[in-house]
Amino acid sequence: MIQVEDKDALRVVMRGYRSSRETTAFVPTLGNLHDGHLSLVRKAQEVADRVIVSIFLNPTQFNKPEDLKAYPKTKENDLALLKRENVDLVFLPTVKEMYPEGGTTQVQVGGISEILEGDSRPGHFSGVATIVAKLFNLVQPDISVFGKKDFQQLMLIQRMVADLDFGIEIIEAPTAREESGLAMSSRNNYLSSEQRDLIAPNLYKEMRIIRDAIQSGTSDYIALQKTATANLESHGFKPDYVEIRNAFDLSVAKASDKSLVILVSAWLGKARLIDNITLEL
C-alpha cells in the first residue's frame, strides 16, 4: 500500500495508473474509519483496478471549531484497516498542503447547500464541495464512491460533478448499519453504550414507521413528521428535523411524488445523528 502526503507524489502515482490503462476508484474520508467506510472501499474494488483513499480532516466543513477539535484522529488504525483491505494508495495531506496560504476560491453548489443540513450547518456544504473538487482535480479518478447515509451530500456531489464537467462516475453505496439498525458513523463514538444500543436505533425505527405508513397509503406527510418528532423526543432525542422530501431534488414532498426520501437529524447527548430511507411508490 503506497502512502503519500504531498500533491506531486500523488500525481506521479496516478499518472502511472493511467499510463497502464488501469481504472481508478476514489474514496474520500475524514479519517476515523469504521466498517461503513470499508464498505465503500469494497464497492470501489468491485468497479476499478486501483483503489485510492484520502484521509483528510477538512477544517472548512466544520462550522464549529469545537467539533473539529473533538473529531477522533486514528491515523495508525485507519492505515492498518486500509492495508488489510488491500487499498492501493492512501493520500494523507496536511491542511497546509490542501489550503496553501493566500487561497480564496470556494465552490458553492446553489440551492441544495442551503436546506436541511445546509440550514443547520451554515458553510458546511461549501467546505465539502470545495475539498471534494480539489481532491477530484488532484486524483482525477474514473469513479468515486459515496455512501447514501449522507444523502444530501451525495446529491450535492452529483450536482457538482455534472455542473463542472468532472467526467467522474459517482457510485452510491448502501448505508452500512449496526445489527440494531443504527447507521454506522464516526459520530457514534460520542454515544454511551446505553445510548448506542438502546436509544439511538429508534432513529431508524421511526423512519421505517413513516415508510410503512406511506406505503400503506398515508399521504398526510406533515402529521407523520410531527408524530415521529414527538416519538423521538420521548426517547430522549432533540430532533433537528424530520422531513419527507422528493428524492430527486429534495423539494417538499407532494402526495403525487413517486420517489421519496425520509431524512432525519437529531441530537442524542453530544452526538448529532443523521439518517435516511428512500422509497418508491
Q: Are residues 80 and 11 in the same domain?
A: yes
The model carries a pTM of 0.95
CA distances from 187 to 76, 145, 148 (A): 19, 20, 16
* Domain end residue (candidates: 144, 173, 202): 173
Question: By percentage, how much of the chain surpasses pLDDT 70?
Answer: 100
**How high is the pLDDT of residue 63?**
84
Average pLDDT score over residue span 181-207: 96
180 located within any domain: no
CATH of the domain at 125: 3.40.50.620
The domain in which residue 49 lies consists of 2-173
**How high is the pLDDT of residue 112?**
94
**How high is the pLDDT of residue 64?**
84
Average pLDDT score over residue span 2-17: 97
181 located within any domain: no
Q: Are residues 247 and 149 in the same domain?
A: no
Indicate if the pLDDT at residue 35 is higher than 90.
yes
What confidence tier does 65 reach under pLDDT thresholds 50, 70, 90? Answer: confident
Q: Pick left, alpha or beta for residue 128 (phi over 0 → left; psi -120 to 50 → alpha; otherwise beta).
A: alpha
Q: How many domains does the chain have?
A: 2
Q: Of 34, 37, 124, 235, which one is the catalytic site residue?
A: 37
235 is catalytic: no
**How high is the pLDDT of residue 94?**
97
**How high is the pLDDT of residue 140?**
98
pLDDT tens readout for residues 116-132? 999 999 999 999 999 99
Average pLDDT score over residue span 129-151: 98
What confidence tier does 62 reach under pLDDT thresholds 50, 70, 90? Answer: very high
Q: Which amino acid is at 142?
A: D
Q: Are residues 269 and 138 in the same domain?
A: no
Residue 187's Cα: distance from chain center in Å? 12
* Domain end residue (candidates: 173, 206, 239): 173
Average pLDDT, rounded, for the chain: 96
179 located within any domain: no
